[in-house]
Structure formats: structure tokens, C-alpha cells
Amino acid sequence: MEAAAIRQGPDTGRAARSRTVTWEDPLIGARAAVSMSGLEYMQAIAQGEVPPPPIALLLDMAIVEVEPGRAVFELDPAEYQFNPIGSVHGGVLTTLLDSAMGCAVHAMLPAGSGYTTLELKVNFLRRVTTQTGRLRCEGSVIHLGRTVATAEARIVDGGGRLVAHATTTCLVIGPSSERQTVGLRPKPPKPTADGSPGTS
């Protein structure tokens, strides 16, 4: 949830905007991801069963469609995303593209597997402002190997015009790899009364 307000600046006399963003513990979703397939996890976020990552709330973007090898995000351009020259910062569009491509890859991975972006190439084609309208970004997997995946994504505006496109290379982290993120390692099984390993 978020709140926005316009207030009078105390010294400049200019109207100052403000925005408040709230989020849930991001490790709730991260822990759930360990025991779910990538597709199940992405669907759980899209359906509101798992909290969205804080970055999605910060930028006001959301995953709206997901299937194996494909993910679609949407975002409404807003003033708080602007750069110094009065348009949406390229980093916002890059985050949108990276998210769609990464989630498309994740949606093809089994439970316990993950990924991280190794390389990203972005082309910006149109200036984006609050007048551009809602953006739709579709990411799709090009290749999924045992350790490397590639994907591509395109952003179009409300009129269907291409705004930006990108390609990525991702490192696939298999189920047997050590998960280094704090709090994401599965809990060890509880021992039974005789001291032998049990189930958690």
C-alpha cells in the first residue's frame, strides 16, 4: 500500500510531493520460493498469496501474467520515477525488463533452484513520461540450459508502441547449490526420540 501527498515547501514556496511505501518482510516470499517450483512461486506472487518483493512496491510494478518461460509485468509511469530531464529514469525501465526476463527464467525452474542475472543489454527507443500511459513488459526465455539461461523482453506503451527492449544471460543455480542468502537454507530435520534423523 502507499500514500501520496502534495505539501507546500517551507522555504522555496514550491509544491513538494511525497510518497510513502510499505511492504512486508521480504524473506516471507524468499523462504517460500525454496520449496516451490519457479512457476508456482511466480503464480503465488501474482495471485497475492505471497507478498510481492519490496522493489515492486517501490516502483509500483506488478506481475500480471506468468507461464513456463514467459512473464508479463505492468507499470504506470509516475513523477517519482523521473530523472533530472523530466522523463522516467532508464534504470526504472531496466528494472522492469530485468524482472520480466528473470521471472520468465524462474518460471521454468524446479523447486529449490534459482537464478541470478549475469549480463543485461538494454535498448531505449522512446521517452517515457506520465503521458505515456501504462507500460507492459513481456519477457520470454530463449534458451534454458543446466547452468545458463538467456531471455529477451520488450516494453510497449498503451498504444502498442515499442519503448525499450533487452536481452539477458542468467546463471541457473541448481537445487544442490548452497543458497547463500541469509535465512533461505532449509531447516534441518528434527531428530526422533532415539536420536535418528526425522522429518521437519
- The predicted-structure confidence for 97-122, as pLDDT tens digits, reads as follows 999 999 999 999 999 999 999 999 99
Residues 6+ apart with CB under 8 A from 13: none
Residue 151: predicted pLDDT: 98
pLDDT above 60: residue 70: yes
- How high does pLDDT run on average in the chain? 87
Residues linked to residue 152 through DSSP beta bridges, in sequence order: 140, 167
The closest alpha carbon to 199, from 180, 184, 186, 185, belongs to 186
pLDDT above 70: residue 173: yes
The helix, strand and coil proportions of the chain, stated in percent and rounded to the nearest 5, come to: 20, 35, 40
pLDDT above 90: residue 185: no
Q: Rounded to 5 degrees, what angle do the CA atoms 3, 17, 88 make?
A: 95
Residue 175: predicted pLDDT: 78
The closest alpha carbon to 70, from 125, 136, 18, belongs to 136
* pLDDT one-digit tens code per residue, 19-51: 999 999 999 988 988 899 999 999 999 999 999
Q: Name the CATH superfamily housing domain 24-173.
A: Hotdog Thioesterase (3.10.129.10)
